[in-house]
Amino acid sequence: MSRKTKRWLLQLQILLALLALASFVFYQQVGTTGGNVLTFGQQQLPKTVSNSTNYSTLERKSFQHILPVDDDLLEKVFITVKTTGRNHLTRLPVIIRTWFQLAKKQTWFFTDTNDQHLSQVTGGHVINTNCSATHSRRALCCKMSVELDVFLETKKKWFCHVDDDNYVNVPALDELLKMYNPIGDWYLGRTSTPKPLQIRAKSQKTTFWFATGGAGFCLSRALVLKMAPISGNGKLMAIGDRIGLPDDVSVGYVIEHLLKIQLTRVEQFHSHLEPMRLIKKDLFNEQLTFSYSLDNEPNTVDVDGFNEITDPTRFLSLHCFLFPEASSCVEK
């Protein structure tokens, strides 16, 4: 064997040895991450979980092991409360006294009136949208549009909207959002109709589901970014005018019909369109939102606690049921 051939064989052996070592290191790393995480520099990026409404809640929970554990998830949530000036002294005090205390940094009130006192008691978390103070379709779409635009100005991962007659179970909301990856397209909420809504748009029948705003709903940042070119910067009002329907329906129209992204139903959101008394006490901790109506025959959650004069909405009593050590419950 010539000297040249020997040198070539030696180089080949060294190359094969290096390849074997590189393969060993690679598979060691894959084994450590379980194959479910892509590594970028020193940061681990989770793979996106595909969006589908065909999964049951239990099946979705099985995805938790591939999502990053984030103890500070709530810090990445932007909660908006849609309200109006005439409700500042009637509906907001009970919210500020109860669940707002658990999410002061995350919660913002979107209204149509300057209110120095409200700004003071909420730490400046009040935004005057300059929208109309009426309950018209255009006014509602205007406020929702501002909510979504302001959310995109933040670095938050989740947008969650509620009305000023909602109680938010903050720990339950935190647990819900841990089940989903915000880099996926998620539309989480509850429908208020037994069948998909059917409308005529441009002389064509259009069918879609929408999450009722009165129960609250959450959107991932990835989804809101996809909505922005269609409904951002006030365009949601034009969409509402075109289909002749209010803000929550217009949001559903954009997401389900235009973007072809399905609503993921979460039955633990509740509005006053359903009888609150039917929610069982032993399931209170699992519910995400509650609501009430005091018109005609009161529709409130059935819970013991404060008397009905002190607590007509039952939110104070509900809060003390969920969090008995809260300061507002000590002198109950």
Among 195, 225, 231, CA closest to 210: 195
Q: Give the burial class of 121: count Cβ atoms within 10 A of its Cβ; 0-12 exposed, 13-18 middle, 19 or more buried.
A: middle
Do 170 and 107 form a contact (C-beta atoms < 8 A)? no
Q: Give the burial class of 123: count Cβ atoms within 10 A of its Cβ; 0-12 exposed, 13-18 middle, 19 or more buried.
A: exposed
Do 274 and 219 form a contact (C-beta atoms < 8 A)? no
Rounded-to-integer distance, Cα 189 and Cα 253, Å: 14
Please count the other Cβ atoms lying within 10 Å of the Cβ belonging to residue 225: 13
Which residue's entry shows tokens 């998830």? Answer: 73
Rounded-to-integer distance, Cα 93 and Cα 90, Å: 7
Look at strands 166-168 and 289-291 and give their pairing. antiparallel
Rounded-to-integer distance, Cα 54 and Cα 112, Å: 39
Active-site residue set? 248
Rounded-to-integer distance, Cα 137 and Cα 132, Å: 10
Backbone angles phi, psi at 197, to 5 degrees: -75, 135
| DSSP track, 202-233 | TTEEEEE----TTT-EEEEHHHHHHHHHHHTT
